[in-house]
Structure 1
Amino acid sequence: MLSAAEGILLCVVTSEAVLGVLGDTFIALVNCMEYAKNKKLSKIGFILIGLAISRIGDLWIIILQGYIQVFVPHMLTSGNITEYITYIWVFLNHLSVWFATNLNILYFLKIANFSNSVFLWLKSRICAVFIFLSGCLFTSWLLCFPQFSKMLNNSKMYWGNTSWAQQQKNVFLINQSLTNLGIFFFIIVSLITCFLLIVFLWRHIRQMHSEGSRLRDLNTEAHVKAMKLLISFMILFILHFVGLSIQVLCFILPQNNLLFITGLTATCLYPCGHSIILILGNKQLKQASLKALQHLMCCEAKRNLSVT
């Protein structure tokens, strides 16, 4: 039986997952409809579709593994379900973070304007940056899949052996760190680009204030909104990987459902929150969401009138 706190957190996790799936599905549908209409897909549209689809799968895997760990943990040590879940999660999680990193870099290179020679070189070679990141993604997969297979075989062989578990804690953590080097690289790149974009927007706001531009109020409001969205993304992004770290630690600590569900809650905050951030920060997605809400309200009003 779950305690009250565990039950509440599990409801929160489920709500986060549902909202995340709905938000990402909406993002994917809007961009697919735009492609069907114009017969052309922009880089941002392609990245948003890929990010939404990979994150939907990532959310389902996270929730599935979470429910199994809480309610039927013995299933993780029997059969091949652990391998299937782990391999699918590694593939989707790497892909999701890769798309998010590409999106951050694309926004950074398109919006920011630094005089630094490295920045100017990168801005003129966006396609080369994407190719390089694609190579990093495939290299990360090639390195981590064999390592994960070895870790899963060892954990099954020695599951329940307390003395072995105590001796192998450090080895387990080191192996986890090594297998996630690719993810760490993408995390660092994403956070650096977000931070630099915030710095650029902040400098631009100060410059507009000093110049006394007529469009100062409108531009300042837009830039402040963009900064808030970027800071929110960074916080959610960090919380996501803090949550994943807590879940990893739960495998080497005595069973603690409350700690595990807490990590699960932090993990699911990012896919849910980032989809909302993307909808609010993207003009096309925001307009489509407003139209969808208006349509739903009209349908509800017509239904109420027909009932009365």
Structure 2
Amino acid sequence: MGLVLSGFIVLMNCKTWKRNRYLRTGDKIVTSLCLSRWIFQGLYGIHHIMQWHLPRVFFHGYANEACVLGRIILNYITVWLASLLCVYYCVKITNYKHVVFLYLKAKMSKLVPWYIGLSVFLSVVFSLPYGWLVFFTSDYTGKITESFQNTTKKKREGPYVYFIGSTPPFIIFTVAFFLTVPSLWRHIRNMSSVGSSFRNPDMQAHYNAIKSMAAFFALHILFIMSINITFSGVMEIGIPYNSVSFVLSSFYPFLHSAVIIFYNRKLKEEFLKLFTCYRIFSQEKK
């Protein structure tokens, strides 16, 4: 389902861009994030299937290591873009008067394409240590990986490689979150103090923003923990754990994509139309 929802968001935003030749700043970040998640989940699914159903082919040479490296790069990209999205919400929603916030508010639309490119560049850079461990270290060069357990041993020799790379975007994400939510809460309290009703559209919008950010933050923590455990190899790898890791890794992009669709009026309307057409088609087919 994560693949479906991420693909739906990408297609809808591409449709908007084709029609208007323009995407809003937030939609650019969301589209890039959902596209990277879509590719990551597709590669993760292929990796998950092949390592259990075609092990003789997949674990010969460096095919498995190359696939894992691709997953790490794509996952770094999704983590950096998720942090960029949280920073965008922070800059857009909050009303801090610091010079950095004022500069970002004025230049965000021009800076976002550069930030997206920088996210990809940093993702590749932080993935280089793993690539060096696997492809260029003398302990690994010339070896043939015959089983998933051998790959796990390789990952255990550098258990902190992925953790170090995922820490900077997570810190940025956390700081942006804790700057945004208190600001929203103070604004809600100010509105309620002047007599605004909880049914006021502005109040509801702020409450929805807080709920969306809180869900985003909780799911992001769960995802970071799951992926760090997976890539570090600190737990024994087997079919039960691998399946749980796969489910948890898919759970976050699915739910966050659902949150994005739910709180975006246009995406929600298009999704309901598509879902209605699917139900009618299913009933007619029966």
User: TM (normalized to structure 2)?
Assistant: 0.82
Of 240, 257, 263, the residue aligned with 1:275 is 257
Q: Tell me if the contact between 2:50 and 2:58 (Cα under 8 Å) persists in the aligned partners.
A: yes
The aligned amino acid for 1:248 is: F
Of 149, 171, 176, the residue aligned with 1:193 is 176
Q: Does 1:142 align with 2:121?
A: no
Superimposed CA distance per residue, residues 239-268 of structure 1 (whole angstroms, 9 cap, x where no aligned partner): 11211122224x455443322322222211
Relative to structure 1, the CA distance from residue 298 to residue 261 in structure 2 (aligned partners, 3 Å threshold; closer, same or farther) is closer
Relative to structure 1, the CA distance from residue 166 to residue 204 in structure 2 (aligned partners, 3 Å threshold; closer, same or farther) is closer
Of 179, 187, 202, the residue aligned with 2:185 is 202
- Equivalence for 1:151: 133
Return the offset for 1:212: 0.8
- Equivalence for 2:16: 34
- Equivalence for 2:201: 218
Q: Does 1:173 align with 2:166?
A: no
User: TM (normalized to structure 1)?
Assistant: 0.77
Count of aligned positions: 279
- Equivalence for 2:73: 91
Of 54, 79, 82, the residue aligned with 2:61 is 79
Deviates more, 1:277-286 or 1:90-99: 90-99
**How far, CA to CA, are the matches of 1:166 and 1:257 in structure 2?**
13
- Equivalence for 2:222: 239
- Equivalence for 1:120: 102
Q: Tell me if the contact between 1:101 and 1:189 (Cα under 8 Å) persists in the aligned partners.
A: yes
**How far, CA to CA, are the matches of 1:74 and 1:67 in structure 2?**
13
Pick the structure with more helix per residue.
1
1:13-24 equivalence runs, <5 A: 19-24=1-6
Return the offset for 1:285: 0.9
**How far, CA to CA, are the matches of 1:296 and 1:166 in structure 2?**
42
**How far, CA to CA, are the matches of 1:47 and 1:167 in structure 2?**
36
The aligned amino acid for 1:195 is: F
Q: Give the RMSD, CA atoms, in angstroms.
A: 3.2
SS at match of 1:173: coil
**How far, CA to CA, are the matches of 1:170 and 1:87 in structure 2?**
15
Q: Tell me if the contact between 1:242 and 1:266 (Cα under 8 Å) persists in the aligned partners.
A: no
SS at match of 1:292: helix
Q: Tell me if the contact between 2:37 and 2:78 (Cα under 8 Å) persists in the aligned partners.
A: yes
Question: Is there any run of 5+ residues in structure 1 with no aligned partner, and where?
Answer: 1-18
Percent sequence identity is 24
